[in-house]
Amino acid sequence: MTGTPLSRSEAKDLTRRRLIRAAFAILDEEGEAGLTTVKVARAAGIAQSSFYVHFKDRQDLLRALGDQAGERLRATMREARRRAHETPDDGERHRDTFRIPLEAIRRHPELFRIGLRARHDPSSPLQDFAVESSAAYRAHLAADLAAMGFPTGTERDRRRLEMIADGINALTNAMAVGHLEGRYPDLEEVVDVLVAFSKGYLWLLRPPRRPLSETE
């Protein structure tokens, strides 16, 4: 029943991980307002004052949460790139573009919800992290689109690309929220809709009607 006897540092590390896990759960269920040292410590099974053995203060915990969330996010993006590279370049790869982020969100819904919330909350110490993450994701998508042949010559071109990337991100998030709330149970239906929307911006890619002969 009782496992291996743990060394002191192992036990401390375990407690720290329990605290972080508890903090994520509370943040997800009750929001920023519910995240107190009292609740986190109790959920992790230690005294409130012992919280300070592991974190300098409340802010320090938030920083650790941001770090961990960032690490998972980066791992997810690496994984997505890897899988996209493996998929054959037919219709299925295009669907994968949407399916992979959705599956990543489903794997860590609490991280997704926390990020979504922090993104627009000026009182959240995680806001900077969320804003940077979404900007990074936007840039990542915009680069992919540029690689597909979207024009990036003018400032206006680049802005439009960023808007499209922003839109794809927003669409994906909205569908993910609907899926997590149970409104869209079937992920393949979700991917169908995202593919439908994508036909719109892909239309911008089609060969220019004017073969660059006019004066301007």
Partner DNA sequence: AATTTCACCGATAGTACTATCGGTGAAAAA
Partner DNA sequence: TTTTTCACCGATAGTACTATCGGTGAAATT
Owner of token pair 């994984």 = 79
CA distances from 51 to 17, 30, 98 (A): 12, 19, 40
List interacting residues with DNA (CB under 7 A).
5, 7-9, 11-12, 15, 35-39, 41, 45-50, 52-54, 57-59
* 164 contributes a contact to a second copy by CB under 8 A: yes
Among the listed residues 126, 109, 131, 130, the one whose alpha carbon sits nearest the alpha carbon of residue 181: 109
For the segment 21-80, give every residue that binds a second copy (CB under 8 A): 29-34
Q: Which does 38 bind (CB under 5 to 8 A by kind): a second copy, DNA, none?
A: DNA
Q: Contact 38/48 with Cβ under 8 angstroms?
A: yes
Helices 8-30/58-86 angle, 10° precision: 80
- Smallest separation, CB 177 to a second copy (Å): 8
* 178 contributes a contact to a second copy by CB under 8 A: yes
Among the listed residues 179, 183, 81, 173, the one whose alpha carbon sits nearest the alpha carbon of residue 134: 173
- Smallest separation, CB 197 to a second copy (Å): 4
Helices 109-118/91-107 angle, 10° precision: 90
CA–CA dist 28, 115 (Å, integer) = 10
Q: Which does 182 bind (CB under 5 to 8 A by kind): a second copy, DNA, none?
A: none
CA–CA dist 80, 86 (Å, integer) = 10
- Smallest separation, CB 31 to a second copy (Å): 3
* 209 contributes a contact to a second copy by CB under 8 A: no
* 4 contributes a contact to a second copy by CB under 8 A: no
Exactly one of 77, 94, 169, 187 binds a second copy (CB under 8 A); which one? Answer: 169
Which residues of the shown chain bind a second copy in the complex (CB under 8 A)? Answer: 29-34, 113, 116-117, 120-124, 156, 159-160, 162-164, 166-167, 169-171, 173-175, 177-178, 183-184, 189-190, 192-193, 196-204
